[in-house]
Amino acid sequence: MPVSATGPYDQGNIFAKILRGEIPCNKVFEDDFALAFHDIAPQAPVHVLVIPKGPYVSWADFSATATDAEIGGFVRAVGQVARDLGLEEPGYRLLANTGVHGNQVVPHLHVHIFGGRQFGAMLS
């Protein structure tokens, strides 16, 4: 069920639980600003999610209310994860589903990194 991009932050969402260590994840990267882990239902040979450490519902929320340090740290983390995964040269795709029309399901900002094969049309 898609979620609002602007609703109040739900501390019970699954990525909040991962950040608090209440449920496990298959971690690939962590620093002060971001955590990255493999998607539980991968849709590409490489499918990793990068999430900010702060309580941001969506790209809309994060871009409007996060600090410059959080935004800079998060953007750098997304690039670092892709680099660490060896995706820079073959290339990769980023996706941040946002709100209902974006079909965002988990109400904590996450950027999908897809890689490992040639992708086709951007939208189906």
Catalytic residues: 110
How many residues touch ligand AMP under the rule CB under 6 A: the total is 12
Select the residue interacting with ligand AMP from 19, 104, 109, 115 (CB under 6 A).
Answer: 104
Question: Per CB under 6 A, does 109 bind ligand AMP?
Answer: no
From the list 109, 77, 87, the residue with the least C-alpha distance to 96 is: 109
Choose which of 57, 106, 111, 113 interacts with ligand AMP (CB under 6 A): 106
Q: Letter for the amino acid at 53?
A: K
Q: How far apart are CA 20 and CA 42, in angstroms?
A: 23
Q: Can you tell me the distance from the alpha carbon of 40 to that of 61, in angstroms, rounded to the nearest whole number?
A: 24
Beta carbon nearer to ligand AMP, 55 or 69:
55
> Would you give the DSSP letter of residue 121?
-
> What's the min distance (Å) between Cβ of 105 and ligand AMP?
4
- Residue closer to ligand AMP (CB basis): 14 or 85: 14
Put the strands of the sheet holding 46-52 in their side by side order: 27-30, 34-38, 46-52, 111-115, 93-95
* Contact footprint for ligand AMP (CB under 6 A): 14, 25, 37, 39-41, 49, 97, 103-106
